[in-house]
């Protein structure tokens, strides 16, 4: 699902409360209505939108009463800083996803024995994953802080009104490519004209220099 659509869907407080309730147990419309303090008609409208988005689904019990429950796990991330705003949504990866070599900055214990798991093993697995989740959250906060420091320092050279993340990407590409305009533009996946303008500004800020007239740049 598009993250912007999901963010807009969750902008409604009652829909968030419905999801919070359903994350604990399956409920029928009247039960949700009493919990929210709103009419069943309003609840049905919210549930319809959540169903259309694939977040909620329903089942019927033996008494033909319709119950609603969470359909699947979804993660929504919102990033806001003086330098950027973005949203990102994702679904849990398959258990078979190979994480070896994918997170070189983290020591991930990824070994897992297949087969029957007793309650003790499940409890240990939950504790380990919960600890890892907390570590990842702390690491994300650290990365965000350091990233903003780097972008603040870059703004000191090129001006606060500039798109600092783009200029940082161009600066990094100068250091990691052969320094030619085509290579830099390909690395940052941007229009060469926009990259050329950014390069001129980085030269003015004293961050890079032109190596030769053929159009090659290097860090100053």
Q: Which domains does the chain have, with CATH numbers?
A: 3-70 (1.10.10.10), 158-219 (1.10.10.10)
Structure confidence at residue 62 as a pLDDT band (50, 70, 90): confident
pLDDT score recorded for residue 115: 54
DSSP element (H, E) containing 85: strand 84-90
Query: What's the pLDDT band for 40 if we cut at 50, 70, 90?
Result: very high
Q: What pLDDT shows up at residue 50? A: 95
The β-bridge partners of 78 are: 87
The full DSSP string for 49-76 is: HHHHTTSEEEEE-TT--EEEEE-S--EE
Task: Kindly tell me if the per-residue pLDDT of 116 is higher than 60.
Answer: no
Q: Label residue 18 by pLDDT band (50, 70, 90).
A: very high
User: pTM, whole model, 2 decimals?
Assistant: 0.65
- pLDDT bucket at 175, cuts 50 / 70 / 90: very high
The confidence score (pLDDT) of residue 111 equals 53
Instruction: For helices 40-52 and 13-22, give the axis angle rounded to 10 degrees.
Output: 80
Question: Distance (Å, rounded) from C-alpha 88 to C-alpha 79?
Answer: 8
């Amino acid at each position: 699902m598009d993250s912007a659509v999901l963010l807009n869907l969750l902008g409604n407080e009652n829909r968030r409360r419905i999801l919070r309730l359903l994350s604990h147990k399956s409920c029928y419309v009247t039960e949700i209505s009493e919990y929210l303090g709103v009419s069943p008609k309003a609840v049905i409208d919210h549930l319809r939108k959540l169903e259309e988005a694939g977040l909620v689904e329903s089942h019927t019990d033996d008494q033909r009463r319709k119950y609603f429950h969470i359909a699947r796990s979804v993660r929504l991330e919102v990033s806001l800083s003086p330098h950027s705003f973005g949203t990102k949504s994702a679904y849990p990866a398959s258990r078979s996803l190979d994480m070896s070599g994918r997170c070189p900055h983290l020591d991930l214990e990824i070994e897992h024995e297949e087969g029957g798991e007793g309650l003790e093993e499940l409890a240990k697995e939950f504790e380990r994953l919960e600890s890892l989740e907390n570590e990842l959250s702390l690491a994300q906060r650290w990365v965000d802080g350091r990233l903003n420091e780097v972008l603040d320092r870059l703004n000191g050279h090129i001006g606060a009104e500039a798109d600092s993340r783009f200029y940082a990407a161009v600066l990094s590409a100068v250091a990691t490519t052969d320094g030619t305009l085509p290579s830099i533009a390909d690395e940052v996946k941007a229009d060469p004209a926009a990259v050329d303008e950014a390069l001129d500004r980085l030269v003015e800020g004293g961050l890079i220099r032109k190596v030769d007239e053929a159009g090659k740049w290097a860090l100053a």
